[in-house]
Amino acid sequence: MKQVEAFILKKLENELSPKLTYHGVHHTVDVYNATLMLAEREKVTGKDLDLLKAATFLHDTGFLFTYRDHEKAGCEYAQKILPSLGFDENDLETICSMIMATRLPQSPNNKAEEILCDADLDYLGRDDFWPIANSLYQEFLAFGIIQNAVEWNRLQVSFLEKHHYFTPTAKKLREKMKQKHLKEVKEQLAILESQD
């Protein structure tokens, strides 16, 4: 696993676009830490944990190649590099299924996929929500996905209202704070819209 970790993190560090202020290598590390915490509390161990770790490191590698459909590109990349690192066909299928589950709207089919989905959006219910959300705002501006703060806050409200955590652990640890952030974003949006 250390081999996968070192190889992927180095590649992301060296090759991701600097415009990816949210989906940078720091995001992958953050998701990995959240994955470990959730996996421990949800009692995922052994080979299941190894595959989950690999999927976590690979889940946003598609951004090396494309912005849209990056999950699919990440799967293709995983299929290319993982056999030489000792992963078999079944492993690849499991890892790709986890990566694809993170595509929005998230669609996990088992506990490992639920953990990766929850880890990917763990920040929504954490104290560091605002600086991380701001990094996504900057990225969306850079890629022309949104034009201004009003559009951004509308998108945030819609996203936070539709989002839900899957694992009992994430629901318990993150849902309450996420609802607080939703309320704050709505307040911010109301102020911005009143200035229009």
Q: Which among 112, 105, 110, 78 is positioned nearest to 92, based on CA atoms? A: 78
For residue 176, what pLDDT is reported?
Answer: 98
Residue that is written with structure tokens 């990349």 in the block: 77
For residue 3, what pLDDT is reported?
Answer: 84
Q: Which among 49, 182, 181, 166 is positioned nearest to 119, based on CA atoms? A: 166
Give the span between the Cα atoms of 11 and 58, in whole angstroms: 11
Residues 6+ apart with CB under 8 A from 163: 121, 124, 178
For residue 45, what pLDDT is reported?
Answer: 96
Tens of each residue's pLDDT in the chain, 196 residues:
788 899 999 999 999 999 999 999 999 999 999 999 999 999 999 999 999 999 999 999 999 999 999 999 999 999 999 999 999 999 999 999 999 999 999 999 999 999 999 999 999 999 999 999 999 999 999 999 999 999 999 999 999 999 999 999 999 999 999 999 999 999 999 999 998 6
Amino acid at 96: C
For residue 178, what pLDDT is reported?
Answer: 98
Q: Which among 104, 177, 83, 105 is positioned nearest to 95, based on CA atoms? A: 83
By the 10 Å C-beta count (0-12 exposed, 13-18 middle, 19+ buried), 84 is classed as exposed
Residue that is written with structure tokens 């052994």 in the block: 46
Give the span between the Cα atoms of 71 and 67, in whole angstroms: 9
State the angle between helix axes of 46-58 and 89-101 in degrees (0 to 180), rounded to the nearest 10: 60
pTM attached to this predicted model: 0.96
For residue 144, what pLDDT is reported?
Answer: 95
